[in-house]
Structure 1
């Protein structure tokens, strides 16, 4: 088996891990599953020779776990600076800016947003990633990010409709935060 197909296999594994991420209404489970997916897809990108995307994905994994413990502006700033510094130092094509921009946007969302707003910003970040992955030729990456785009989009609509009917789709999350706080 060639290195290319090993890389594609890791991308498909990431697809399997990440497929249900955006269905979670519990913020903690959402972030942990997103971190696991990011770590695996980062390995896929390194194997595909896409270092800026690999670095962004691995930073995504670390950042997502840390965002469970703090929403500090300083920590957010460090991750944004790392993403820009590492990503911009290695990019060779304008399309490689998309995962960098997507990572900056999702970093901001995870540290500064909650609930539906988080998912909306993450949807925009996903649009950057799916475009990049298609350009790169990443089968698993394109499948998963395309799935994220559709699933998160449908869940955004579903959660928005729930809110319009007076139902708080993130009530479970708020109750857990109150018990922890």
Structure 2
């Protein structure tokens, strides 16, 4: 139930017009995902989401490049400290990829970083048995893949996607 609520809050976040409200809602979703994974016994995934909660709250203050490096470092240290099996590498790399995409990349590179992170979370969710996580990450991965394919087709035709599409 907690995972389902996390999925609902996360989906709702992307429907909000205000970017600040979206980030607050995504922070709430990250907190719920942290609790969800803690209940599943996936400590590393829970910690990664707890850090993401803080990351999303701080992202409201602005897209500071230095924050990307701070959060990637925090994720790597946390992943190392909570390491239980090779499976714990997946959420660690996923959140590092997502933070790189959010703070350090733009355009299709950003989408690619988000896609990589989503695919890694998808595989981890399958392993952890998180049905809401599987559904949300599959939908996110499909959405990012479709976006990237459309943008590449536009480029091949000589058109460039608008700035909001990048």
TM-score normalised by the shorter chain: which range applies? 0.7 to 0.9
1:98 equivalent in alignment to 2:79: no
Gaps of 5+ in 1: 1-8, 174-181
SS in 2 for 1:165: coil
* 1:116 alignment counterpart: 108
After superposing on structure 2, the runs of 4+ consecutive aligned residues of structure 1 that deviate more than 4 Å are 20-33, 159-164
* 1:168 alignment counterpart: 162
* 1:176 alignment counterpart: none
The 10-residue stretch of structure 1 (127-136 or 57-66) with the greater mean CA deviation from structure 2: 57-66
Shift of 1:109: 1.2
SS in 1 for 2:144: helix
Contact conserved, 1:79 with 1:107, CA < 8 A, in 2? Answer: yes
The 10-residue stretch of structure 1 (85-94 or 112-121) with the greater mean CA deviation from structure 2: 112-121
Within-5 A mapping of 1:13-28: 13-19=5-11
Gaps of 5+ in 2: none
User: Of 60, 76, 80, which aligns to 1:84?
Assistant: 76
Contact conserved, 1:10 with 1:43, CA < 8 A, in 2? Answer: yes
Shift of 1:80: 1.4
* 2:142 alignment counterpart: 150
1:39 equivalent in alignment to 2:22: no
Are the structure 2 counterparts of residues 32 and 118 from structure 1 closer, same or farther at C-alpha, using a change threshold of 3 Å?
A: farther
Are the structure 2 counterparts of residues 37 and 83 from structure 1 closer, same or farther at C-alpha, using a change threshold of 3 Å?
A: same
- Counterpart CA distance in 1 for 2:105 and 2:19 is 11
- Counterpart CA distance in 1 for 2:109 and 2:10 is 20
Contact conserved, 2:13 with 2:25, CA < 8 A, in 1? Answer: yes
Q: TM-score, normalised by structure 2?
A: 0.81
Are the structure 2 counterparts of residues 167 and 124 from structure 1 closer, same or farther at C-alpha, using a change threshold of 3 Å?
A: closer
* 1:57 alignment counterpart: 49
**Deviations 1:75-124, CA, capped at 9 Å, x for gaps:** 22221121111121112110111000111111111111224322221000
